[in-house]
Chains A and B, each alone.
Chain A
């Protein structure tokens, strides 16, 4: 019997053993109901569970399908990417090689094979880096030991460093190397052929340190090498610095053109190189300045010999554009360590000596001596003051009368330039004009003289002219004729009242430009006058080369006339020649009555000198003229 029924029977049995059947049936019925209900619940929940699991399964299947599709798409995308990657890899201009964490070759591109001349089978994935480098070595595209190189790369990679270097291949190509560690512990190496870049860089570096024209070291390289040489120098083994300047370079450049000038510089630089030892340095500082650094000098004589040798070889003519040109070199010499313990000091001192050499004449060499610096400094001081003199209004013009012998009237005043240098008093042109010419200041100063003199003359009586001295440099200036014309116009002075005085040296240069300018000035109506006539070597021939309106006989002939017949004869010949050519002559520097009588008797037409007046300040001219006119009136 089922134990539940057993229990139910027990529960329904009365104390007397009588069975309460009604209660029993109720209990049994309830038990049946409960069992049925439990079965229904079980059925239902199992059914639902199956449904749920089924749905879950469908969802999972759908998910699997979805993922499978996505996976296939990714595979296809990966394949496309691989193709693109391959294309990119094999069309790189660089070589690319990838290694894994065990230094085994993983990937390499086509350029790698081309760059290092690998043959089929040389490279295989899985090869160790030292095998790859050994293969390169076999193909002759590796310098050095492959194993050592592999070791050094591995050491750097294991330190996690990205590094770059440049390798030179045995055939001379330069290859830039970049090693970048990967996250997986391996690395990627790229090689790029940088041969051209390296060559260009070398060229640029060379250009930065060499003179493009002559190929000699330039100032930059010179200073470097000079410092090296100086630091190795001692009293027993000195360094001599020869600072060299071509005396005639400017003239050649001006007359034959820049191309000839350049050829001269090239020729000279070649000769300097020939005169020196390999251990010496020859450099071009710029322009016509060269430097020789002579090392290991035991005695001054060795340097002197070199200077003479250099000077001598430069004097031998060079053929340039059909001209035989010989150069004169001025050389200034200083020694390290005695004259300077660094490059710039030594250069400066050699420059001082050079200045001295140039001051002493052409084609000379000078060693640095005590006091040279002081003189140079004095010159520099003058130069500095001169540069500001014009704007500070420190110049003035004095006017010295030129008197006609025929009627005693004043025909002209010569404008004489004076410089009121602060603290130094009034300075005559001989003391500063050469310097002004040298440093180019003569152009603005000359312009000022011209304008000032024209303005002054415009206020004088119409028959009184003004004479103005010209520097050859002014004449060579382009536009000088226009400047004269403008000055006349601005002052309102008739051109024939302006007499421009030039010295023989202007014609000495025999320059077409100068002659053209003189002719143009003459066409303008300006008179051209030859100053200091007779001091040159071929004064007479110059008279033929240009139609001068006037000549001014140099004062030395007047002074010497007192001392002998020869001078009188020359003076007489000059005056006679001028008369024949119908050129007005001015006797300059006449101080005494005897001199006046002489030049009058010789047939000179005008007199200038202290006998009439020294130079007058501008505001003294009117007074002087009035007194002179009065005196003439009384005399007549």
Chain B
């Protein structure tokens, strides 16, 4: 496998080595919504890499090596020796259709030699948990599914996805890696610590949370955020994700983060289900713990690096926008920590997302995560 970096600046346009090669099979790119939205961006890429599948999405910041950039589109062009890839796309017209969208994509990608799926989804109008459940069910639970929801900085206004076509909102795109030689390994880490009492989810509707302990959920957040941060909702709610636990099965615990709020109804929409009867506990992160968890996720991919690679290796990092908002200037610590945990030759590319898709830390089952970082390494052996 060969990995070529590419980038786009408003001032300079594309910088794309090895362009026009018909050997490039896959282009992955991440960028600011406004930069990525014009159809010209896709047309340009298509003309640069006529034979490649093209997959990308809007973000809350791009990761390239130890850098975090906001004003560039970053990407990679991958050329495989013995591996094939296939891209599938499907619309998600309404969050309630999320599972079906996942199934459609999964069925399009399913195959005997499928090794892993990297999925980029609409970042607001989707129930990520359902999407992953549908997709994972269709390709089989043994196949790792990683990726994330598209981002929109701290605006939570609109997200877009490119999948072998110009960027649009309300779609899901995914690439499947096939063949005996490709290695696709991923790991998840959070680093957030729960605090305060456990609260019961007393009223919810799918991923819309109405009440905790019989009181409007939004009131609790308003209290914790204080005057200073209330104005910044829903973005500021990312400082306090929720640790959601199945009371009957404590292993079933996931971190949920806010996507939207409804001031009139006093409800909050989360990136995944909030089942009634489960408990929810506020979480908070510290700079050091979050950074350390990125290193842990990167180290989690090491089993995939046991064999000597043929050609280049790449690590795809999907981290939560909430982490970036909390850490501010310190966010670079997390990228560096991941870098330190990986072999020096592993190229790193990624983005800040509205939701991360990767293995559950305990069960290994593909799930939607919030406030986490997912590291997926891909190479040929």
Contacts and interface: CB of A to CB of B under 8 A. Distances in A.
Interface in A232-276: none
B228 interface: yes
B223 A48 contact: yes
A543 B240 CA distance: 142
Interface stretch (B3-11, B27-35, B252-260, B322-330): B322-330
Contacts of A30: 328-329
B197 A34 contact: no
Interface in A40-60: 40-42, 44-45, 48-49, 52-53, 56
Nearest to B66: A7
Interface in A97-130: none
Given A41-B229, A49-B195, A53-B196, A31 B329 contact: yes
Contacts of B196: 45, 48-49, 52-53
Interface of A: 3-4, 7-8, 27, 30-31, 34, 37-38, 40-42, 44-45, 48-49, 52-53, 56
B181 interface: no
Interface in B70-88: none
B330 A34 contact: yes
B226 A38 contact: no
A45 B328 contact: no
A415 to B, nearest CB: 112
Contact of A52 (B197, B240, B287, B332): B197
Contacts of A38: 287, 326, 328
B329 A42 contact: no
Contact of B228 (A31, A40, A53, A56): A40
B332 A44 contact: no
A37 B195 contact: no
A45 B224 contact: yes
A135 B246 CA distance: 61
A74 B330 CA distance: 60
B284 A45 contact: yes
Interface residues of B, number: 19
B70 to A, nearest CB: 13
Contacts of A48: 196, 223-224
A165 B97 CA distance: 74
Name the residue among A30, A41, A49, A56 with the largest chain B CB count within 10 angstroms: A41
Given A37-B228, A48-B223, A53 B197 contact: yes
B238 to A, nearest CB: 12
B contact face: mostly helix, strand, loop, or mixed:
helix
Interface in B208-243: 223-224, 226, 228-229, 239-240
Name the residue among B197, B239, B328, B329 with the largest chain A CB count within 10 angstroms: B329
A56 B197 CA distance: 8
B176 to A, nearest CB: 38
Contacts of B226: 40-41, 44
B332 A7 contact: yes
A27 B330 CA distance: 11
Nearest to B284: A45
Nearest to A33: B328
11 contacts: A4-B330, A31-B330, A37-B228, A38-B287, A40-B228, A41-B226, A41-B229, A41-B239, A45-B195, A48-B224, A52-B196
B329 A45 contact: no
B94 to A, nearest CB: 35
Interface in B188-205: 195-197
Given A45-B195, A52-B197, A4 B329 contact: yes
B328 A34 contact: yes
Contacts of B330: 4, 31, 34
A8 B333 CA distance: 13
Interface in B161-199: 195-197
B103 to A, nearest CB: 40
Nearest to A41: B239
A43 B109 CA distance: 49
A34 B224 CA distance: 18
A53 B195 CA distance: 10
A42 B197 contact: no
B235 to A, nearest CB: 13
Contacts of A42: 284
A44 B224 contact: yes
Contacts of B223: 48
A45 B240 contact: yes
A3 B239 CA distance: 24
A263 B161 CA distance: 126
B197 A27 contact: no
B224 to A, nearest CB: 6
Nearest to A48: B224
Contacts of B329: 4, 8, 27, 30-31, 34
A532 to B, nearest CB: 118
